[in-house]
Copies of this chain bind each other. A is one copy, B any other.
Amino acid sequence: MIVAGSARAHDLGIAANIAVLDAAAHLKAFARMDGAMLGSIDLSIGKARTSALFQISSEAVWDYCKPGAPAHNLEASNGGLMPFPGGLPVAAADGTIIGAIGVSGGAPSQDLDIAEAAVAALIG
């Protein structure tokens, strides 16, 4: 997943941080491409953790806590969630969530693009 994500990031001209967590939100693998911002290390892990904890994309978590939604300040739970694009759950062929990936380094939409490429590579 990290190889595929890095390849996609390279194509986009982005220096990305890519974090892969297991289904219980423990770190499984991580890579920081040369030139990626230091502040994005924590963002990549945080997006993946947000996805793993709630088993949805990191940005979908925002639907629960954005203005007008019922779960005010949800983003402050669990030590601080990162509810914006770039984190995706990772499922096995049978649909079971087996972990999550988080990408940070580019614009949120680019981060999501890279995460999707990584997930697609796993599914193959």
Q: Which residues of A contact B (CB under 8 A)?
A: 22-32, 37-43, 46, 50, 52-55, 62, 65-67, 70-85, 107-109
Contacts and interface: CB of A to CB of B under 8 A. Distances in A.
Most chain B CB neighbours (cut-off 10 Å) among A31, A40, A43, A72? A72
B24 A37 contact: no
B32 A32 contact: no
Contact of A71 (B54, B55, B84): B84
A35 B38 CA distance: 21
B77 A75 contact: no
A54 to B, nearest CB: 4
Contacts of A85: 70
A24 B27 CA distance: 11
A50 B79 CA distance: 16
Nearest to A76: B80
Contacts of A62: 72
Given A80-B73, A82-B77, A83-B72, A38 B66 contact: no
A87 to B, nearest CB: 12
23 contacts: A23-B24, A24-B24, A24-B38, A26-B38, A29-B30, A29-B31, A30-B30, A30-B31, A37-B54, A37-B55, A39-B50, A39-B54, A42-B77, A42-B79, A65-B72, A66-B72, A71-B82, A71-B108, A73-B83, A73-B84, A74-B82, A75-B76, A76-B76
